[in-house]
Copies of this chain bind each other. A is one copy, B any other.
Amino acid sequence: MTIGDVAARAKVSKSAVSFVFNGRSGVGEAARDRILQAAEELGWRPDARARALSRSRAQAFGLVVRREAELLSTDPFFPQFVAGVESGLSEVKYALVLQVVDNEQTERDAYVRFAHEARVDGVFLTDLRIDDERPRELDELGLPCVMVGPTEAGSDASRLIGLDDAAGIRRAVRHLYALGHRRIAHVAGSDRYVHSEARRRAWLDEMDQLGLEPGPVVDADFTGASGARATHELLDLARPPSAIVYANDLMAIAGMSAANDRGVRVPHDLSVVGFDDIPLAPYVVPPLTTVRQDVFEWARVCAKTLVAIVEGTTPEVPALPPVDFIVRGSTGPAKQL
């Protein structure tokens, strides 16, 4: 079943068929109808491979995900991002090629293969790291990309689609302040990531703004185990915090569990704020107060921007929905001293 068959059945030339399927003018109304009908009857669609070859375009984008097993299956970001990207791509017929890798070498290989084999026309760069080498490497490979990270991530604004991580953390800190908390700790994510830093800095800034002593901060790595460990560390302090802002929900929930284990009651003795609003957040005990970003919409915007970059059109960058702060049961008034 080839374009030739369709052309024959519609009694036109191959190019006429090609023109119709590429939305170009130059085919009469009658011929166009016959062509569409013939294609319909034959169940024909342009072969993506042949198309890719002759247009030197794969009509696909790549996403390389480097993530440890635990975070992969907990992180709400990945599936939502993928779903959003698909949603933004479905109208324009690009496919999404996924690659999951587990270390730096295989990650680099993945990009190199994408580029050299010309499997994709561009990539999404997520989990931006401090001093990330990838933008430069991709430039060298000639592979267009959009970067996906907090707005602070860099100056390369034209291809950075930022979500305002900081705003959420700031609201969390102010919320706790309003509840009377003064010692507000932070459990940060891995310090290699730009978004970890953005969240940490937002916490620091806001504490500063409120005239609070920038309380204790503990480095962790987004896993449950690290969240529990960090929590114990904070509660072991001579002057433990009365509230903790975690860099993600998994650590926050593990932290609540750790607190519970040592008889510290949430929110009575300790208020807890997470980040992500995973679907489980309303269903843990107590329900988790947290920050929600609209990852899906964000990903849609990323997809559309990448299409624009690759096709050389001007990306219409719609405003991203603001972050939400969801107050649930894990935060409460600070205990009177």
Q: A residues within 8 Å of B by Cβ?
A: 43-53, 56, 58, 60, 69-76, 78-80, 82-83, 86-87, 90, 95-101, 106, 113, 116-119, 223-224, 227-228, 250, 253-254, 256-257, 260, 278-280, 282-285, 287, 296
A99 CB → nearest B CB, Å: 6
A336 CB → nearest B CB, Å: 26
Instruction: Determine the distance from Cα of A78 to Cα of B80 in the docked complex, in whole angstroms.
Output: 11
The residue in chain B whose Cβ has the minimal distance to the Cβ of A110 is B90
Instruction: Determine the distance from Cα of A254 to Cα of B281 in the docked complex, in whole angstroms.
Output: 10
Q: Which residues of B contact A250 (CB under 8 A)?
A: 279-280, 283
In the A-B complex, the 7 residue pairs with the smallest Cβ-Cβ separation, listed nearest first, are A48-B117, A254-B283, A73-B76, A49-B52, A45-B116, A86-B100, A74-B279
Q: Which residues of B contact A86 (CB under 8 A)?
A: 98-101
Instruction: Determine the distance from Cα of A99 to Cα of B63 in the docked complex, in whole angstroms.
Output: 13
Is there an interface contact between B69 and A73, defined as CB atoms closer than 8 Å?
no
Is there an interface contact between A79 and B83, defined as CB atoms closer than 8 Å?
no
Is there an interface contact between B53 and A279, defined as CB atoms closer than 8 Å?
no
A299 CB → nearest B CB, Å: 10
Is there an interface contact between B74 and A280, defined as CB atoms closer than 8 Å?
yes
Q: Which residues of B contact A101 (CB under 8 A)?
A: 86
Please give 17 more A-B residue pairs, beta carbons under 8 A apart, in addition to A48-B119, A73-B278, A224-B280. Answer: A47-B53, A47-B117, A49-B58, A49-B119, A51-B117, A52-B52, A69-B83, A72-B83, A73-B279, A74-B279, A74-B280, A75-B79, A82-B100, A86-B100, A96-B98, A224-B283, A256-B285
Q: Which of A44, A73, A78 has the most CB of B within 10 A?
A: A73
Q: Which residues of B contact A47 (CB under 8 A)?
A: 53, 117-118
Q: Which residues of B contact A50 (CB under 8 A)?
A: 53
The residue in chain B whose Cβ has the minimal distance to the Cβ of A266 is B285
Q: Which residues of B contact A53 (CB under 8 A)?
A: 47, 49-50, 52-53
Q: Which residues of B contact A49 (CB under 8 A)?
A: 49, 52-53, 56, 58, 118-119
Contact sample, A vs B, 23 pairs, CB 8 Å cutoff: A46-B117, A48-B117, A50-B53, A51-B117, A71-B279, A73-B80, A73-B279, A74-B76, A74-B280, A79-B79, A86-B101, A95-B119, A96-B98, A223-B279, A228-B283, A250-B279, A253-B280, A253-B284, A254-B280, A254-B283, A257-B283, A284-B284, A284-B285
Q: Which residues of B contact A257 (CB under 8 A)?
A: 283-285, 287
A75 CB → nearest B CB, Å: 8
Q: Which residues of B contact A227 (CB under 8 A)?
A: 283
Instruction: Determine the distance from Cα of A310 to Cα of B72 in the docked complex, in whole angstroms.
Output: 29
Is there an interface contact between B280 and A97, defined as CB atoms closer than 8 Å?
no
- Knowing A113-B45, A283-B253, the reply to whether A278 touches B97 (Cβ < 8 A) is no
The residue in chain B whose Cβ has the minimal distance to the Cβ of A75 is B79
A149 CB → nearest B CB, Å: 19
Instruction: Determine the distance from Cα of A60 to Cα of B217 in the docked complex, in whole angstroms.
Output: 46
